[in-house]
Amino acid sequence: MGRNTRKRRTPLATKAIAASAALALGGGGLIWANFYASAHESNNQTWGGNQTKAATAQVATISCPDVGQKLTNVPNAARQGVATELANLDKQITEAYSRLASTRQAQTNDPSFVQNAIVGPLKEKRAATIDRIRIDIQRVGGSVNNWLGQLAACTTQTANQTTAGGQQQNGGQQQQNGGQQQNGGQQQQNGGQQQNGGQQQNGGQQQGNAGQQQNVGGQAGNGPVAADFVDITKVAPNVQGKPRNTGNASTGTFITRCGVNANKNHNTDNVIVAPGVTNGAHHLHDYVGNQKVNAFSSNQTFLQGGTSCQNRSDLSAYYWPVVRVQDGSQDFDQNADGGGKEGNVGKILTPVKAQIKYVGSPASKVVAMPQFLRIITGDAKTTTNGLANANAHWSCTGFENKVQLTTQYPICPQGSQVVRTFAFQSCWDGQNIDSANHRTHVAFPDPASGVCGNGFKAIPQLTMRLVYNITPPVIQNGQVKNAFAVDGFPEQLHKPATDHDDFISVTTGGLANKIANCINTGQRCA
Q: What is the pLDDT of residue 160?
A: 72
Mean pLDDT (whole number) for 369-396 = 97
Percent of all residues in the chain with a pLDDT value above 70, rounded to a whole number = 78
Residues sharing a CB contact under 8 Å with residue 517, sequence separation 6 or more, in sequence order: none
Span of 103-107, 208-212, 375-379, 520-524 with lowest mean pLDDT: 208-212
The answer to whether residues 259 and 288 touch, using CB atoms and an 8 Å cutoff, is: yes
Q: Mind giving me the DSSP string for 333-361?
A: TTTSTTTGGGT--SEEEPPSEEEEEEE--
Residue 199 has pLDDT above 50, yes or no: no
Tens-place pLDDT, residues 88-102: 999 999 999 999 999
Residue 187 has pLDDT above 90, yes or no: no
Q: Bridge-partner residues for 92, per DSSP?
A: none
Residue 69 has pLDDT above 90, yes or no: yes
Of the two residues 188 and 146, the one the predictor is more confident about is 146
For residue 522, what are the CA distances in angstroms to 130, 184, 250, 251, 445? 49, 16, 6, 5, 20
Q: What is the pLDDT of residue 350?
A: 98
Instruction: Give the best-scoring range by mean pLDDT among 17-21, 195-199, 352-356.
Output: 352-356
Mean pLDDT (whole number) for 322-341 = 95
Which strand (E) or helix (H) includes residue 266? strand 266-267
Q: What is the pLDDT of residue 245?
A: 97
Q: Which band of pLDDT confidence, cut at 50, 70 and 90, is reported for residue 162?
A: low
Cα gap 409→219, rounded to integer Å = 17
Tens-place pLDDT, residues 166-184: 333 333 333 343 333 333 3
Mean pLDDT (whole number) for 345-354 = 97
Mean pLDDT (whole number) for 294-315 = 98
Residue 209 has pLDDT above 80, yes or no: no
First to last CA, the chain: 38
Tens-place pLDDT, residues 480-518: 999 999 999 999 999 999 999 999 999 999 999 999 999
3-state helix/strand/coil string of 447-476: CCCCCCCCCCEECCEEEEEEEECCCCCEEE
Percent of all residues in the chain with a pLDDT value above 90, rounded to a whole number = 74
Tens-place pLDDT, residues 430-480: 999 999 999 999 999 999 999 999 999 999 999 999 999 999 999 998 889
Q: Which band of pLDDT confidence, cut at 50, 70 and 90, is reported for residue 220?
A: low
Q: Say whether pTM exceeds 0.85.
A: no
Q: What is the pLDDT of residue 478?
A: 87
> What mean pLDDT value characterizes the chain?
83
